[in-house]
Amino acid sequence: MQHLNEEQLVAHYYHDDDAPATAESHLGECTECRLQYETIRRVLTLVTDAPMPERGEHYADEVWTRLRWKLGARKRRMRWTSFVAAAAVLAIAFFAGQWWNSRGAQAPSPVSEIASTKPVRGQAGAPVLHGNDRVLLVVVSDHLESSERMLAELANANPKETFELSSDRAADLVASNRMYRQTAATRGDQRIESLLSDLEPILAELAHAGKTLSPDELASIQKRIESKQLLFKVRIVSAQTGSGGDKPVPAHSNSL
């Protein structure tokens, strides 16, 4: 009688054998092979019974929440084209602003005359944005929203745990931030320039931090975000740009 070897027994256990009926028949007749097969079955049952930690029904949501901020890599290939596009938008915005101003200078309206001497106040007594401010705010809107998300993620992270970081994403934000800050400086928009100047060192530090922040590093960053009220400031300007810049700016945002 031809016995089944160990490999054939394992293949039979997993139904991967070529002639399962023959093997089954042999196992019915051969005590030696049946004992071998039974031992394999017991060992594999023991392995099967090893516990598996359960994940909650919202596990996929948790994975996605942590993951979605890191999914910038597909856009990264477009980094330089994005910069070119952003620069083009800025250039168009700059010349559109110049044209708008020169047109306003030729035929000054009562409102622009007031605007040139003192800020216009909205209903709440806050300044209303016009012309160049609005153009610049619109083009930095995306950048501020992305920065806000990253700051919020950091601010809300558990300081006792290692924080996983997308340094590529931070590097993109640093490059954009630098460009927008310089543009704001050129245009004399001190409010945005000041905000972006506060933001840049944090972003630069994140860009060079590697893939993770230790609890100490995270606590330090959180402290700096908190001390400069950075998240709050970014949210204020981001909300303002998101609404097209026509809404009154809260009075305390003048300190930006």
* Positions that interact with another protein (CB under 8 A): 6-7, 10-11, 13-14, 16, 39-40, 42-48, 50-53, 55, 59-61, 63-64, 66-68, 70-71, 73-74, 164
35 or 96: CB nearest another protein? 35
Buried b (16+ CB within 10 A) or exposed e, 35-71: ebbeeeeeeeeeeeeeeeeeeeeeeeeeeeeeeebee
Shortest Cβ 168–another protein spacing (Å):
10
CA 154 vs CA 55, 75, 163, 166: distances in Å:
25, 22, 8, 11
Shortest Cβ 115–another protein spacing (Å):
40
59 or 80: CB nearest another protein? 59
Give the Cβ contact number of residue 90 at 10 Å: 20
73 or 87: CB nearest another protein? 73
3-class secondary-structure state, position 224: helix
Shortest Cβ 237–another protein spacing (Å):
25
Shortest Cβ 48–another protein spacing (Å):
7
Asked whether 217 and 154 are in contact (CB, 8 A), the reply is no
Shortest Cβ 153–another protein spacing (Å):
14
3 or 42: CB nearest another protein? 42
Shortest Cβ 240–another protein spacing (Å):
26
Query: Which helix (H) or strand (E) segment is 163 a member of?
Result: strand 163-164
35 or 92: CB nearest another protein? 35
What are φ and ψ of residue 195, in 5° steps?
-60, -45
3-class secondary-structure state, position 245: coil
21 or 46: CB nearest another protein? 46
CA-based angle 49:53:58, to the nearest 5?
140
